[in-house]
Structure 1
Amino acid sequence: MVTVPPTPLFTTVIVVFAVVFGILWTAVNFYHLYPYVQYFLVARLFGADSDPYTRLPEGHEFVSPPTFDVLLPAYEEGNVIHQAISSIRSADYPQHRIRINVLVEPEDADTRDALATLAEEYRFDEVPIPSEYEEVVVPEKYPGMPNKPRALNFGFDSTDGDIVGVIDAEDIVDPDLFSTVAYALVDQGNDYVQGKLDMVNEYDGWKNLVFRAEYAFWFRLLVPSFHFVGYPVPLGGTTNFFRRETLERASDLRLEQYGTPWSDRQQAWLSRNGFPGSVPWDPRNVTEDFELGILLWKEGFDMTLIDVVTRKSHRSPRTRGSGNGHAGRRGSSTRSSSISNIPRQVSAGGFTASSSRSSLISPRSTSSGSSS
Structure 2
Amino acid sequence: MPADIAFLAGRGLTQRMLALAAQLARRRGTTASQELMALPGFSRALYWRLLAEHLGLRFIAEGEPVTLLAEALPPAAETIARSRRMLVESGAARVLVLAPEGPAQVEELQRLLARLPEIKHRFAIADPATIQACLLARNDAGLAYCAAHRLARAKPQLSALVCRSLKGRLAIAAAPIALSVLILVSPLPFGRIVAILLSAFFFLGMLLKSAIAFLEIADRPAPPLSDADLPSYTILVPLYREAGILPDLVAHLDRIDYPSSKLQCLLLIEADDEETLAAANLHARHPRYQIVPVPPQEPRTKPKALVYGLPFATGRLVVVYDAEDRPEPNQLRKAAAAFASDPALGCVQARLTIDNTENVISKLFALEYAANFDVFLPALAEWRMPLPLGGTSNHFPLSVLKRTGAWDPFNVTEDADLGIRLARYKYRSITILSRTFEEAPVSPSQWMGQRRRWVKGWMQSLLVAMWPGRGSAPALTPKDRLAVLAILGMGVAGLLAYAPACLVGLVAALALGGVPEPDGLLAWGLLAANFLNVTVLVLSSSVMAFRGLRSIGRMDLVPMIALLPFYWLAMSFASWQAFVQLLRRPFVWEKTAHGLSMARGLKPDAPCRTGRGFAVSWLGISRFSALWGKGTRSESGRPRPPSCVTSDSGASSRPAPAAL
Q: Same fold (TM over 0.5)?
A: yes
AA partner of residue 413 (structure 2): T
Say whether the 8 Å CA contact 1:71–1:167 is kept in structure 2: yes
Is residue 201 of structure 1 aligned with residue 356 of structure 2?
Answer: yes
Question: In the comparison of the two structures, how many residue pairs are matched?
Answer: 275
CA distance in 1, matches of 2:341, 2:253: 22
AA partner of residue 351 (structure 2): K
Q: Partner of 1:104: helix, strand, or coil? A: strand
The residue that corresponds to 1:25 in the other structure is: 199
The residue that corresponds to 2:253 in the other structure is: 88
Is residue 308 of structure 1 aligned with residue 457 of structure 2?
Answer: no
AA partner of residue 407 (structure 2): W
The residue that corresponds to 2:120 in the other structure is: none
The residue that corresponds to 2:264 in the other structure is: 99
Say whether the 8 Å CA contact 1:35–1:226 is kept in structure 2: no
Superposed displacement of residue 21, structure 1:
2.1
Superposed displacement of residue 154, structure 1:
0.7
Say whether the 8 Å CA contact 2:321–2:392 is kept in structure 1: yes
AA partner of residue 191 (structure 1): G
AA partner of residue 163 (structure 1): L
Say whether the 8 Å CA contact 2:326–2:438 is kept in structure 1: yes
Change (3 A) 1:32 1:348: farther
Change (3 A) 1:152 1:217: same
Q: Partner of 2:386: helix, strand, or coil? A: coil
Please give the TM-score of this superposition, normalised by the length of structure 2: 0.38
The residue that corresponds to 1:70 in the other structure is: 235
Change (3 A) 1:110 1:36: farther
Q: Partner of 2:257: helix, strand, or coil? A: coil
Q: Partner of 1:78: helix, strand, or coil? A: coil
Is residue 34 of structure 1 aligned with residue 195 of structure 2?
Answer: no
Change (3 A) 1:113 1:183: same
Higher helix content, 1 or 2: 2
Superposed displacement of residue 300, structure 1:
1.3
Q: Partner of 1:191: helix, strand, or coil? A: strand
Superposed displacement of residue 310, structure 1:
0.3
The residue that corresponds to 2:275 in the other structure is: 110
Superposed displacement of residue 171, structure 1:
0.3
Q: Partner of 2:353: helix, strand, or coil? A: strand
The correspondence of residues 180-219 of structure 1 with structure 2, limited to 5 A, is: 180-189=334-343, 190-202=345-357, 204-219=358-373
Say whether the 8 Å CA contact 2:348–2:431 is kept in structure 1: yes
Using CA pairs under 8 Å that are at least 6 residues apart, name the structure with larger relative contact order, 1 or 2.
1
Residue 404 of structure 2, aligned match among 250, 275, 289: 250
- Which region of structure 1 is more displaced relative to structure 2, 18-27 or 306-315? 18-27
Return the index of the structure with the highest Cα Rg.
2
- Which region of structure 1 is more displaced relative to structure 2, 108-117 or 65-74? 108-117
AA partner of residue 302 (structure 1): R
AA partner of residue 409 (structure 2): P
CA distance in 2, matches of 1:308, 1:70: 16
Change (3 A) 1:349 1:95: farther
Change (3 A) 1:26 1:228: farther
Residue 384 of structure 2, aligned match among 227, 230, 238: 230
CA distance in 2, matches of 1:134, 1:71: 10
Q: Partner of 1:208: helix, strand, or coil? A: helix
Q: Which runs of 5+ in 1 are unaligned?
A: 1-12, 45-49, 124-128, 252-279, 333-342, 351-372
The residue that corresponds to 1:163 in the other structure is: 317
CA distance in 2, matches of 1:194, 1:85: 21
CA distance in 2, matches of 1:14, 1:314: 43
CA distance in 2, matches of 1:111, 1:32: 45
CA distance in 1, matches of 2:200, 2:438: 36
AA partner of residue 198 (structure 2): L
Superposed displacement of residue 36, structure 1:
4.0
Say whether the 8 Å CA contact 1:235–1:289 is kept in structure 2: yes
Change (3 A) 1:136 1:62: closer
Residue 293 of structure 1, aligned match among 410, 419, 423: 419
Q: Partner of 2:333: helix, strand, or coil? A: helix
CA distance in 2, matches of 1:54, 1:193: 13
CA distance in 2, matches of 1:35, 1:93: 37
CA distance in 1, matches of 2:438, 2:292: 31
CA distance in 2, matches of 1:74, 1:135: 10
CA distance in 1, matches of 2:196, 2:277: 56
CA distance in 1, matches of 2:412, 2:282: 32
AA partner of residue 162 (structure 1): R
CA distance in 2, matches of 1:116, 1:135: 8
The correspondence of residues 324-339 of structure 1 with structure 2, limited to 5 A, is: none
Change (3 A) 1:145 1:24: closer
AA partner of residue 312 (structure 2): S
Q: Partner of 1:91: helix, strand, or coil? A: coil
The residue that corresponds to 2:73 in the other structure is: none
Identity, in percent, stands at 26
What are the superposed Cα offsets for residues 90-137 of structure 1, whole Å, 9 maximum, x if unpaired?
Answer: 122212211111111122233223223314xx66xxxxx59xx88787
Please give the TM-score of this superposition, normalised by the length of structure 1: 0.64
